[in-house]
């Protein structure tokens, strides 16, 4: 398998994840309130509760990956094991049973939780294997960028064609349209995970075997830099959910531009593509810390342009492009930090805890997503939002707070976390030391 085969094979794993993940982030709240038939408050509460349940399954999955040792590696086997359940639970989450209001709510809780668990089984290994695919720092950055580009493509697919597909397959029946569309996404994701398994190979062993370590010892392997990474994931994915969810409400109700939905999806997402292509080059010249601050500034500038130019089509479109560059810059840099944080635990604590680090990332990601969904649901309820109706000024103001001002607060929090990130200056020293340890292990084996 050539370099590009490995890069693309690894990267498309996140395309498969995002076909469903991005739909959940962007459409699931609307699906539950406007199609499934539960209130915004009930949907928000459900997402909060199930996300925290799912966050604990992430921890278990991370510990399992750290203790997995097969001829296929530590993470790769789970692409095979999780592929079929992922497709099945995608279908069931968007199936609407005839069970009455209480029965439907229970169905929503169970199927959503199962889908999130299946996502965990394939996504935690996807997060852990980069340090095992190569020890070359630049190649790792390229792999991460390839993954981010593919994730962005998956999100772009969801944002640009989901609504047309729902209309096409539903023919006036949104429930049937969503079910058919999501079944296609689930089957496509399943096939992609098989390709990712076949295209990757774990060739870099950890410098220590974590197989017989205790949970207490694993936790000791987490560094302060790992906790910074976890908080960055918490705040970034909260930002992602707020933007992805409320952009639909903001353009539909505040701006009355429902005909822009596909265009909003394309500009707001594909505008980040140049940033992801440039990141491996930029990371050779500038620190990840500096690039993160720059990306944050871009997002805030674009957000304020959308707010100030709400009556100007040009300002709205330019604002979407700039926020797209900013948010995907934050996205790519956050994930590029992860291999360094994993190596830092090996370097500083002599601990191989890639799975635990990925698990805690998932914990904070899903906890943040659940909490953010709950907050959005609560804001909509308190503002008096009524689905598919003309909104009151109060409801419109609360939608605006969610789309414009909460993201700016989250960007400030991301900047505060980034201020304490210090691994840029240690990267070369870590690589040299870990290579010495691996060579010593080989010599002594």
Residue bearing tokens 């996807």: 126
Q: How confident is the model at residue 390 (pLDDT cuts 50, 70, 90)?
A: confident
Q: Are 189 and 181 in contact (CB under 8 A)?
A: no
Q: How confident is the model at residue 276 (pLDDT cuts 50, 70, 90)?
A: confident
pTM value?
0.76
The rounded distance, in Å, linking the Cα atoms of 204 and 184 is 36
Q: How confident is the model at residue 300 (pLDDT cuts 50, 70, 90)?
A: very high
**How large is the average pLDDT for residues 265-294?**
86
Q: Which two tokens stand for residue 362?
A: 């998932």
Q: Which two tokens stand for residue 278?
A: 């440039």
Question: What pLDDT sits at residue 235?
Answer: 94
Mean pLDDT of all residues belonging to the chain? 87
Q: Are 69 and 7 in contact (CB under 8 A)?
A: no
Q: Report phi then psi at 70, rounded to 5.
A: -130, 170
Question: What pLDDT sits at residue 188?
Answer: 96
**How large is the average pLDDT for residues 147-151?**
87
DSSP alpha helix (H) spans, 2-136: 3-31, 40-66, 77-93, 100-128, 130-133
DSSP alpha helix (H) spans, 67-99: 77-93
């Amino acid at each position: 398998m050539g370099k590009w085969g490995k890069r693309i094979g690894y990267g498309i794993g996140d395309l498969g994840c995002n076909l469903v993940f991005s739909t959940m982030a962007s459409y699931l709240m609307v699906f539950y309130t406007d199609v499934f038939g539960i209130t915004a408050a009930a949907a928000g509460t459900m997402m909060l509760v199930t996300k925290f349940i799912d966050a604990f399954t992430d921890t278990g999955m991370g510990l399992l990956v750290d203790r997995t040792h097969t001829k296929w590696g530590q993470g790769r086997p789970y692409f095979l094991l999780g592929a079929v359940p992922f497709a099945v639970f995608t279908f069931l989450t968007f199936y609407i049973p005839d069970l009455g209001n209480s029965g439907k709510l229970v169905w929503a809780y169970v199927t959503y939780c199962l889908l999130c668990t299946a996502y965990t089984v394939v996504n935690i290994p996807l997060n852990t294997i980069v340090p095992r695919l190569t020890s070359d720092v630049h190649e790792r950055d390229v792999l991460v960028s390839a993954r981010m580009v593919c994730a962005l493509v998956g999100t772009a697919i969801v944002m640009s064609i989901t609504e047309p597909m729902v209309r096409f397959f539903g023919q006036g029946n949104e429930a049937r349209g969503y079910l058919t569309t999501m079944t296609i996404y689930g089957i496509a994701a399943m096939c992609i995970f098989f390709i990712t398994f076949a295209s990757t190979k774990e060739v870099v062993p950890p410098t220590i075997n974590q197989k017989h370590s205790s949970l207490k010892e694993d936790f000791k392997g987490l560094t302060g830099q790992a906790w910074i990474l976890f908080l960055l994931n918490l705040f970034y994915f909260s930002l992602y959910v707020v933007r992805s969810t409320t952009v639909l409400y903001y353009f539909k109700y505040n701006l009355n531009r429902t005909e822009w939905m596909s265009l909003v999806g394309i500009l707001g997402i594909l505008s980040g593509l140049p940033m992801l292509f440039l990141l491996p080059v930029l990371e050779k010249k500038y620190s990840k810390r500096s690039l993160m601050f720059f990306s944050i500034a871009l997002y805030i500038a674009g957000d304020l342009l959308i707010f100030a130019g709400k009556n100007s089509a040009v300002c709205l479109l330019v604002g979407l492009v700039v926020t797209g560059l900013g948010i995907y810059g934050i996205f790519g840099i956050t994930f590029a930090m992860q291999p360094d944080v994993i190596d830092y635990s090996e370097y500083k604590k002599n601990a191989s805890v890639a799975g635990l680090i990925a698990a805690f990332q998932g914990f904070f990601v899903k906890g943040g997503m659940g909490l953010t969904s709950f907050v959005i649901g609560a804001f909509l309820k308190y503002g008096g939002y009524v689905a598919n109706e003309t909104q009151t000024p109060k409801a419109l103001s609360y939608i605006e707070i969610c789309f414009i001002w909460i993201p700016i607060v989250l960007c400030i929090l991301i900047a505060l976390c980034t201020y304490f990130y210090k691994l840029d200056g240690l990267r070369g020293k870590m690589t040299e030391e870990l290579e010495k340890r691996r060579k010593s292990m080989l010599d002594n084996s």
